Each structure stands twice: as C-alpha cells, then as structure tokens.
Amino acid sequence: MKKKRDIYILILSHGKLAEEFYNTAKMIVGSVNNVYPFSFMKEMAFQTFEKKVVRFVKKNKDHDIIIFTDLFGGSCFNICSSLVNKKNVRIISGLNLGVLLEAILLKNSNTLDEVVNALERKKNDTIIYVNKKLIK
C-alpha cells in the first residue's frame, strides 16, 4: 500500500487576505501545520510573486500541495496555471474560510484527492442565502 504523503496548503491572495485567513484558521482550530499564506501585495512585481510560489512548489515536490486562490482569473490564479499539470498539486479557486477549515481538518487523515473531492462536494454548502433559508 502506498504511504500517504503530507499535504501542504498554500493560500494565495491579493493583499493580506491570505495572512488573515491563516490567522483566523489558527484562532478557530489551533495548530495549522503545513499551511502557508502567500500575499500578493500592490507594490510587488507579478514575476517576483510567481517565482516565490513556483520555488515553494519545486522545493516541496515530495509533498502533496493544495493551492487556494482568492479569485478565479486573477493574478494569483494565473500564477498557478503553470502548476496545473504537476501530479502533486491541486488548485482550488474561490477561497472562503469554511473551505479552508475543512481542508485543514481533512488533510492529516486523507489523501490529496480525497480532500479535494470532499471540498468539491461541499462547494454548494459554502454560500447560504439566510433569508431564504429562515423565512418561510
């Protein structure tokens, strides 16, 4: 039987959103090992940020990696396009706190594809129109 590899989570965002998601996740679940925020700041060159992300992925080729991006089609998402064919990388766009927490809780006891499949099944549960749900 194949040994389960560690899963690393990268959070890519415009501004400090990645850092705040990371800090909030720590506040809620405590330890969040192998979770790394990458913030694309206004003053940063696209190529500089891209090199930082690609370098991290290459350095951690012996680990499975889930990359969350904040916005489909945005700069952070576009950086990941060169990584989409890597066997150890899965990319999820449209990050929210519920999905991130789910990934953090699942990653230690599931394989990469099991985590991603579970997240994809939950996608319709992440946005709830409360008025419609509570007002009959």
CATH at residue 36: 3.40.50.510
Residue type, 48: T
Look at residue 110 and tell me if it is in a domain. Answer: yes
Look at residue 91 and tell me if it is in a domain. Answer: yes
What does each C-alpha distance from 115 to 11, 74, 106 come to in angstroms? 16, 24, 6
14: how many CB neighbours lie within 10 A of its CB? 16
What is the Cβ-side half-sphere exposure of residue 130, based on CA atoms within 13 angstroms?
Answer: 0
- Strands 35-40 and 64-69 turn out to be unpaired
Q: What is the number of structural domains in the chain?
A: 1
Residues spanned by the domain of 84: 7-134
Residue type, 80: C
Look at residue 59 and tell me if it is in a domain. Answer: yes
Residue 81 has pLDDT above 90, yes or no: no
Check residue 17 and give its pLDDT.
Answer: 96
Instruction: Give the residue from 39, 38, 35 showing the smallest Cα distance to 6.
Output: 35
Q: pLDDT tens, 10-67?
A: 999 999 999 999 999 999 999 899 999 999 999 999 999 999 999 999 999 999 999 9
Look at residue 34 and tell me if it is in a domain. Answer: yes
Bridge partners, 97 (sequence order) = none
Look at residue 2 and tell me if it is in a domain. Answer: no
60: how many CB neighbours lie within 10 A of its CB? 17
pLDDT (average), residues 74-78: 90
Residue 1 has pLDDT above 50, yes or no: no
